Amino acid sequence: MKFFVDTANVDEIRELADMGMLDGVTTNPSLINKAGHDFIETITEICKVVDGPVSAEVASTDYETMMKEGEKLAQIASNVCVKVPLTPAGLKVGKQLVDNGQDINVTLCFSAAQALLAAKIGATYISPFVGRLDDIGQEGMSLVSDIVDIYERYDHIHTQVLAASVRGPQHVVQAALAGSHVVTVPPKVLHQMFNHPLTKSGLDQFVADWKATGQSIL
């Protein structure tokens, strides 16, 4: 399963990329606003840091404006993946971009029926929002499982499932078990995945035992 990081903070992205943890990046208007920097400049810089796909989202809702925005975003770098909402206008824009050879990420997916529409236009990624479904009492990860199961039934569907709105390490594990092709996580969650009390206590013991030998490898 590929790991994307869900942030527009270039420093965080660079740190995780240096660790070899990243296959790509996802952003959205909320994350861009949080970062507090120029949108185009931020996406341009991220694309230089990460070799994999960088999702950059259109900010309008009507077809004509979204189409212009999508075309502009696609020109930033070869690894830009234009992100469009799962609306009739969004899918119309997505279809046009796909026909032009552009990778797209269809976002804000909350049902398997919606995921079928994204696959129909040849979307590169479909982003089911797990955490937001959990927030309203539904099982978000069940949606990921359903989409993976449906897509695998048809050889002509090449859309990858990108589990989004991830809230913790367990969501990452569940996404992997469900067969999600990609998971996108906030940097905090990716760092949490390193942590286990037995890892820390074991390392503390090894360090203490090594110190007691009085030896040095260097």
- Annotated active-site residue 83? The verdict is yes
How far apart are the C-alpha atoms of 185 and 168, rounded to whole Å? 8
Task: State the pTM of this model.
Answer: 0.94
Single out the catalytic residue among 68, 83, 92, 200. 83
Phi/psi of residue 127, each to 5°?
-110, 90
How far apart are the C-alpha atoms of 152 and 34, rounded to whole Å? 37
* Number of neighbouring beta carbons within 10 Å of residue 150: 16
Distance in angstroms between the alpha carbons of the first and the last residue of the chain:
37
66-114 pLDDT, tens digit per residue, is: 999 999 999 999 999 999 999 999 999 999 999 999 999 999 999 999 9
Separation of CA 172 from chain center:
11
Does residue 187 contact residue 12 with C-beta atoms inside 8 Å?
yes
Does residue 172 contact residue 144 with C-beta atoms inside 8 Å?
no
* Number of neighbouring beta carbons within 10 Å of residue 130: 27
Does residue 125 contact residue 81 with C-beta atoms inside 8 Å?
yes
Q: Which two tokens stand for residue 44?
A: 């341009």
Phi/psi of residue 23, each to 5°?
-105, -10
* pLDDT at residue 207, rounded to an integer: 96
**pLDDT under 50: residue ranges of the chain:** none
* pLDDT at residue 91, rounded to an integer: 98
Task: Identify the structural domains of the chain with CATH numbers, from first to last.
Answer: 2-213 (3.20.20.70)
Q: Which among 63, 37, 48, 182 is positioned nearest to 124, based on CA atoms? A: 182
How far apart are the C-alpha atoms of 56 and 58, rounded to whole Å? 7
